[in-house]
Amino acid sequence: MLYSHTTPAAKREAFRAALRPGAALQFPGTFTPLSAKLIQEQGFDGAYISGGVLANELGLPDVGLTTLTEVAQRGAQIARVTDLPCLIDADTGFGEPMNVARTVQEFEDAGLAGTHIEDQFNPKRCGHLDGKNMVDLDTAVKRIAAAADARRDANFLIMARTDLRGVDTLPATIDRIKALVDAGADAVFPEALKDLGEFEAVAKAIDVPILANMTEFGKSELFTRERLADAGVAMIIYPVTSLRSAMGAIERTLATIKAEGTQAAAVPEMLSRARLYELVDYEGYNRFDNGIFNFRVPTADIGTNNANLS
């Protein structure tokens, strides 16, 4: 009720302990607190908060238009409701190294378990688009060093993301990754690797955990968890899956209403009223103060005309 039962410090400690090569922890993407509850219910290892998804949810493209305040606020709202650790996307850190330092501390205060910072120019591009512009190595290193120096909780994870593979060779990408690890990165996110062999090569080249981005319609094949674990991957994110699933369902339902004049045909596919009440824990609030929440919480929906619409 109200907040998660696990403190941010405990989430970070558990995340650190579980993040090991080959663990292939699964972090589905979430953009709302309510969907984070679903991720926890399904038994996943954590939740991922994508900067691109937060931008898209605001009706913006993923080109660095969101602000630190907007991202940190949504991150706090999500972290508040789940016992799972949440990794959040910091894009390029929202500015120069001093801004990166502030970003880390804002995310710590928001209850998040870690963040990743990338090495593109600002405005940045989605990692699976062509034509990305990369900052030089010195700039990339300064961002990570500032992030590592700024954190106050040693268990807050600083992850370095590099998009260099999209514009350069795998050996050059590995060289950059090693420099970012030397600068203080606890883990790395090599974006848009070509195949499992490249994941294996990166995992063997460094002593810190690596992340695999299994985004739909991207440059990497959608490998199974087992295959990524065998390649030495420590963590897998599915950043846009929830947003694409939700928006696809909304689009289909709106088309049904437009075509048929009613949503009745779409009701069986909706989250029921009883299920929604269960997710937001009406019963828990009722027990807490039945002087305010003094109504009977439905355990099943009756009929189809209004069961899912309130």
Active-site residue set: 48, 62, 89, 91, 116, 118, 126, 161, 191, 213
Integer Cα distance of 74 and 104 in angstroms: 15
Residues 123-155 as b or e (16 or more Cβ within 10 Å = b): ebbbbbeeebebbeeeebbbbbbbbbebbeeeb
**The tokens of 283 are what?**
């019963």
User: Angle between the 33-41 and 68-80 helix axes, to the nearest 10 degrees?
Assistant: 40
Q: Residue 279, CB half-sphere, CA atoms under 13 Å: how many? A: 17
User: From CA 169, how far away is CA 147, in angstroms rounded?
Assistant: 27
Q: List C-alpha distances in Å: 178 to 172, 213, 258.
A: 10, 19, 54
The whole-angstrom separation of Cα 21 and Cα 290 is: 48
Contact 212, 220 (CB under 8 A): yes
Give, rounded to a whole angstrom, the gap between the first and last alpha carbons of the chain: 21
Q: What is the DSSP letter of 91?
A: T
Q: Give phi and psi for 212, each to the nearest 5.
A: -115, 130
CA distance 149 to 183: 10
Structure tokens at 134: 């990369």
The SS3 of residue 18 is helix
H-type alpha helices, 136-240: 137-150, 170-182, 196-205, 225-230
Q: CB atoms < 10 A from the CB of 211, how many? A: 24
